[in-house]
Amino acid sequence: MNIHPAQYHRNSKKWQYHLGKTGVVLLTTRLEVTTKELESFLPYCFLLVQLESGEKIEVMGEAQTNFLVGDAVRLELRKLAQPDQFGIIPYGLKACKLN
């Protein structure tokens, strides 16, 4: 079954249960070109993270942070895109590196 990672994330109704959880990066893709709404986050990574519970989720990485396989991360509530002047600010999960 193929599904677009961003669409999977938007459709997920369980994101609030993952807030504050920690895990390890399994796969990472670094993006340096994107849509206008995401330009302010460039470069950013899109990650596959395995949580401590064993569950695997796809999530956007913190802006201007380079992620590598094996990095420890925590899932936090962050802005996902820049809305237009009158748009609603979209918030959701982003992975942030643990020091």
pLDDT in tens, 64-83: 899 999 999 999 988 877 77
Does residue 95 surpass a pLDDT of 60?
Answer: yes
Look up residue 14 and give its DSSP letter: -
The rounded mean pLDDT for the chain is 84
Report how far residue 86's alpha carbon sits from residue 54's, in angstroms, rounded to the nearest whole number: 40
Instruction: Tell me which amino acid residue 48 is.
Output: L
Judge whether 45 and 5 are in contact, CB under 8 Å: no
Place of tokens 């949580």: 51
Give residue 7's pLDDT.
Answer: 66
Assign domain 5-97 to a CATH class: mainly beta
